[in-house]
Amino acid sequence: MPTVKGDGMRGLAVFISDIRNCKSKEAEIKRINKELANIRSKFKGDKTLDGYQKKKYVCKLLFIFLLGHDIDFGHMEAVNLLSSNKYTEKQIGYLFISVLIGANNDLMKLVIQAIRNDLASRNPVHITLALQCVANIGSREMAEGLSVDIPKLLVSGDTIDSVKQSAALTLLRLLRSSPDIIPMGEWTSRIIHLLNDQHMGVVTAAASLIENLVKKNPEEYKGCVSLAVSRLSRIVTSSYTDLQDYTYYFVPAPWLSVKLLRLLQNYPPPEDPAVKTRLTECLETILNKAQEPPKSKKVQHSNAKNAVLFEAINLIIHMDSDPNLLVRACNQLGQFLQHRETNLRYLALESMCLLATSEFSHEAVKKHQETVITALKTERDVSVRQRAVDLLYAMCDRTNAEEIVGEMLEYLESADYSIREEMVLKVAILAEKYAVDYTWYVDVILNLIRIAGDYVSEEVWYRVIQIVINRDDVQGYAAKTVFEALQAPACHENMVKVGGYIMGEFGNLIAGDPRSSPLVQFQLLHSKYHLCSPATRGLLLSTYIKFINLFPEIKHTIQDVLKSDNNMRNSDVELQQRSIEYLQLSSIATADVLATVLEEMPPFPERESSILAKLKKKKPNSVPDGSEQKDQMPKLPTAQMSNSSDSAQPTSINLMSQGSPAASGAASASVDLLGLGTPTQTTAPPVGGGDGFLVDMFDTLTTSSPAPATNGMDLGGLTGGAEEAFKKFICKNNGVLFENDLLQIGVKSEYREDLGRVWVFYGNKTSFQLNAFCVDISTPGDLATSLSVQQKPVGGEVEAGAQVKQQFNMACVQEFTDAPILNIQFMYSGAQQKINLKLPVVLSKYITPAEMDSGNFFGRWKALSNPSQESQQIFKASAPIDIETTKSKLLGFNVSVLDNIDPNPENFVSAGVLHTRNQQVGILVRLEPNKQAQMYRLTVRASRDRVAKILCDLLQSQL
């Protein structure tokens, strides 16, 4: 029998002091081994131990465990302690179990039984101990075993407040670890009403629980909004003396307020006007309170107050509905921008970034531009400066772009290395996005390369070249500027790359000036040659061969360079090959061939800025660009496109690959002049080429199709890019119709007379399942009567990475103009996604070519002389006229191309038969190109009214 009873546990104290007095680790281990042997013999002994002894030994074991030794016995004794009625013994038992018994211990069943007994007990202390243990372990088995008991405890009327509080938090813990187990259905309304509880502690605990539940199932808990608003208004309007225990440094219940404000951020603004007004009042009161002088100088007071304020501002931004509130929030944040406290300034910048994206407050944010710029320059903490950069990026628009870009460029020179790369990207994007004058854009980017060349990624300089090539008006200026920039004694390799490329293309534009004569240009570039990496040298070699084409007078100088051992026998195979092949090309080929091979690069297809994609990849959540976040822009990887349309091999590349250089370079090296981006043809838009195929992010840049694409849906609710994609299918049957981050849609079609079969392939590009996938086809207007559509159903889910096929049967009843529209809907990561596309089914698909001789043709031609049977259009060619391409387009249009009929061999004459269910319609086409004026005259005659007009329009869109 122990000599001391009670809580003292002298044996334990002695043991602990022994351990502390040990001189060395070895001595400690010896003492522990001795104690363990003692406890083992005690537990083994036949005589039963009383509660006190058990408690003492279990406690010692716990201590030994905490010292870092394994304990493999004593668990049973600890479980026995749970059934004791003494608080201390129960407490030690629970402590031991929480610390030592893992989730998959055999004893768990016994423990859960003991916990259940305690939960049912009348003594609140015992219940709380049991709840604490559950919260500490929180295993699946526990969640299963106690899924009924704990919610019951939470909503029951006769549990006391402190127990309710613990129960709510324990339940939250179980929900987090095993969310699928707890059935909440029947308790919903009662849990929501906990927000009305008298006791603030219970409300605080319940608010956390409810927020977690809401995240899982927002609909079911919708009722909490009004309760939360009323609770919030009661707190906000109360004075700090009202809530005695829950006032923290003169702020009434700050934690609860923050939790409620967060809870409300899970829902859209309340619809009930009464609730809405009340909420608005609350938010206004919070904003008002921020203006009041502080009641205490203590930092805790201002922290608590600001926590509530920032959460309120977050809610205001989330609701994004009340311009008044947004502007007020913005002003409040503006005050914080100049606050002494760095943390506040950081938070203010961060919140303002969000405010800048809202249409209501964008202008208000802009007022603080000066302050933000000062912050960028003077802040000591780099993370704050980073936020300032983000905010500047977010608040930038056409009006202030020049200034902001200027400031950022200026700051870049002294910026931290950690944020330089991101800043470079941002400057590049802003400059491109808001450039009114492209000379300015070129200046900015060249400055960028000059200041922070190392941080300028490939994408940035690719982009500037794309833009210079696509815009004739800046080419001369760009050439001049890079020429000047290259004259600096030391310039960055990226500058050499840009310079090499641009001068190779447009060097002739400045060659007139004696200061930049061809030889000077060449010598300037060649002076940098030896300092560059092999990749850049390869690019420069391509520039040299282009120079040979541009300036035949320096041909020999360049040939000498190509001939030099340094190039011809370079250890780098790529350089060696280039120099040998270019040398051969320049010496064998005639001037004409050379001119064709080395023709000026065709304009690049407009596409989403690759820089933006990079920025997004780098910081997925921090691109606060309104338009981007709202819609899923179709982004088409170019490589894939050129693969899928292999029939459309650009002719220029074909030319090159016939035993001449750069074929390998074009295929392999991405820096190659000819291989940069998608090689598009020079002479005519390819059948599958991407001209106007993509909607660029920046409407100002789209040269060919200035369709504003600010919102994803344009022209009759079609998803962005759908119209362009549709057009390219007029002359072809298979290909990729649409693609974005989530989905790729491909089309394959087959037509026989009046019957058509279209397969649509939906490829899931994400790594998640797409749910509730449904496809519907609609036939607008009179299309319903002229095209009979049969649709095979498609399954509800698309697995990650999988492809689903759907077949449509389309029979042509009579002639039609519109195309059927495909409505695709699915759920992706909880959000509803909608894509509307025009299915490329047009009248021309139902034509079959017809052969006939000259007499036959003109006989028919004359027979169809009725004005309603003829449609004629004269228009400018959308791309340079090329006979082969035009011919292939006509064939793709399903009409024959008849030779030796028209007296003028330049003209095309075609015939075909249109099959509809009711009748067959003869089609005759005459196309007269005018190469000088780059114009076409197109005449279509058909035996049925309207048909000629429809086909004429369709064909025109392709030329």
Taking CB under 8 A as the binding criterion, the range among 37-45, 588-596, 603-611, 856-864 that sits at the site for other proteins is: 37-45
Comparing CB distances to other proteins, the nearer of 33 and 919 is 33
Examine residue 380 and tell whether it contacts other proteins (CB under 8 A).
no
Burial (0-12, 13-18, 19+ Cβ within 10 Å), 679: buried
User: Which member of 12, 18, 19, 43 binds other proteins (CB under 8 A)?
Assistant: 43
Taking CB under 8 A as the binding criterion, the range among 33-41, 366-374, 903-911, 944-952 that sits at the site for other proteins is: 33-41
Cα 113–Cα 115–Cα 118 angle in degrees, nearest 5 = 115
Examine residue 635 and tell whether it contacts other proteins (CB under 8 A).
no
Cα 521–Cα 526–Cα 529 angle in degrees, nearest 5 = 140
User: Which member of 3, 17, 41, 244 binds other proteins (CB under 8 A)?
Assistant: 41
Comparing CB distances to other proteins, the nearer of 38 and 825 is 38
What contacts 613, CB < 8 A, 6 or more positions away? 459, 635
Examine residue 68 and tell whether it contacts other proteins (CB under 8 A).
yes
State the minimum distance, in angstroms, from the CB of residue 157 to other proteins.
42
CB-based contact 124:163 (threshold 8 Å): yes
State the minimum distance, in angstroms, from the CB of residue 113 to other proteins.
18
Examine residue 266 and tell whether it contacts other proteins (CB under 8 A).
no
Q: What is the DSSP letter of 901?
A: -
Structure tokens at 428: 């590049």
Comparing CB distances to other proteins, the nearer of 37 and 595 is 37
Structure tokens at 371: 């302050």
Examine residue 431 and tell whether it contacts other proteins (CB under 8 A).
no
Helices (H), 729-787: 783-786
Taking CB under 8 A as the binding criterion, the range among 104-112, 470-478, 568-576, 910-918 that sits at the site for other proteins is: 104-112
State the minimum distance, in angstroms, from the CB of residue 671 to other proteins.
39
Comparing CB distances to other proteins, the nearer of 101 and 134 is 101
Comparing CB distances to other proteins, the nearer of 107 and 813 is 107
* Cα–Cα dist 959/684, whole Å: 9
Of 113, 6, 22, 105, nearest in space to 55 by CA: 6
CA 606 remoteness from chain centre:
19
Number of residues in the chain: 959
Comparing CB distances to other proteins, the nearer of 38 and 88 is 38
User: Which member of 5, 10, 30, 109 binds other proteins (CB under 8 A)?
Assistant: 30
Question: In a 3-state reduction of DSSP, which class is residue 803?
Answer: strand
State the minimum distance, in angstroms, from the CB of residue 75 to other proteins.
6
The amino acid occupying position 481 is: T
Comparing CB distances to other proteins, the nearer of 44 and 122 is 44
Comparing CB distances to other proteins, the nearer of 40 and 630 is 40
Cα 381–Cα 391–Cα 304 angle in degrees, nearest 5 = 65
User: Which member of 53, 105, 226, 238 binds other proteins (CB under 8 A)?
Assistant: 105
CA 807 remoteness from chain centre:
31
Examine residue 44 and tell whether it contacts other proteins (CB under 8 A).
yes
Q: How many residues touch other proteins (CB under 8 A)? A: 22
Window 267 to 286, contacts with other proteins (CB under 8 A): none
* Cα–Cα dist 165/106, whole Å: 30
Task: Please count the other Cβ atoms lying within 10 Å of the Cβ belonging to residue 99.
Answer: 14
Examine residue 23 and tell whether it contacts other proteins (CB under 8 A).
yes
State the minimum distance, in angstroms, from the CB of residue 132 to other proteins.
24
CB-based contact 499:527 (threshold 8 Å): no
Does residue 366 come out as left (phi exceeding 0), alpha (psi in the -120 to 50 range) or beta? alpha
Examine residue 34 and tell whether it contacts other proteins (CB under 8 A).
yes
Phi, psi dihedrals of residue 428, rounded to the nearest 5°: -60, -40
Examine residue 104 and tell whether it contacts other proteins (CB under 8 A).
no
Structure tokens at 574: 């790529």
Window 107 to 166, contacts with other proteins (CB under 8 A): 107
Examine residue 37 and tell whether it contacts other proteins (CB under 8 A).
yes
CB-based contact 167:124 (threshold 8 Å): no
**Residue 747: enclosing H or E segment and its boundaries?**
strand 743-752
State the minimum distance, in angstroms, from the CB of residue 105 to other proteins.
7
User: Which member of 72, 219, 245, 565 binds other proteins (CB under 8 A)?
Assistant: 72
Taking CB under 8 A as the binding criterion, the range among 17-25, 335-343, 467-475, 677-685 that sits at the site for other proteins is: 17-25
User: Which member of 24, 104, 414, 767 binds other proteins (CB under 8 A)?
Assistant: 24
> How far lies 196's CA from each of 190, 228, 537, in Å?
10, 8, 74
Taking CB under 8 A as the binding criterion, the range among 26-34, 613-621, 711-719, 844-852 that sits at the site for other proteins is: 26-34
State the minimum distance, in angstroms, from the CB of residue 79 to other proteins.
12
Interaction mask 556-585, other proteins, x per CB under 8 A: ------------------------------
Window 188 to 227, contacts with other proteins (CB under 8 A): none
Taking CB under 8 A as the binding criterion, the range among 67-75, 362-370, 519-527, 928-936 that sits at the site for other proteins is: 67-75
State the minimum distance, in angstroms, from the CB of residue 134 to other proteins.
22
State the minimum distance, in angstroms, from the CB of residue 41 to other proteins.
5
User: Which member of 31, 339, 420, 635 binds other proteins (CB under 8 A)?
Assistant: 31
Of 671, 769, 661, 778, nearest in space to 717 by CA: 778
State the minimum distance, in angstroms, from the CB of residue 550 to other proteins.
57
Examine residue 619 and tell whether it contacts other proteins (CB under 8 A).
no
First to last CA, the chain: 106
Taking CB under 8 A as the binding criterion, the range among 64-72, 242-250, 390-398, 542-550 that sits at the site for other proteins is: 64-72
Examine residue 25 and tell whether it contacts other proteins (CB under 8 A).
yes
Examine residue 646 and tell whether it contacts other proteins (CB under 8 A).
no
DSSP 462-530: HHHHHHHHH-HHHHHHHHHHHHHHHTSSS--HHHHHHHHHHHHHHHHHHTTSGGG-HHHHHHHHHHHHT
What contacts 391, CB < 8 A, 6 or more positions away? 349, 352, 353, 356, 365, 372
State the minimum distance, in angstroms, from the CB of residue 559 to other proteins.
54
Of 824, 828, 835, nearest in space to 767 by CA: 828
State the minimum distance, in angstroms, from the CB of residue 4 to other proteins.
24
Taking CB under 8 A as the binding criterion, the range among 103-111, 458-466, 474-482, 561-569 that sits at the site for other proteins is: 103-111
User: What contacts 24+ positions apart, CB below 8 Å, involve 650-653?
Assistant: 650/679, 650/680, 650/681, 650/682, 650/686, 650/689, 651/681, 651/682, 651/683, 651/882, 651/884, 652/596, 652/597, 652/599, 652/602, 652/679, 652/681, 652/682, 653/679
* Cα–Cα dist 698/706, whole Å: 10
User: Which member of 66, 73, 776, 778 binds other proteins (CB under 8 A)?
Assistant: 73
Residues that bind other proteins (CB under 8 A): 23-25, 30-31, 33-34, 36-38, 40-41, 43-44, 68, 70, 72-73, 75, 105-107
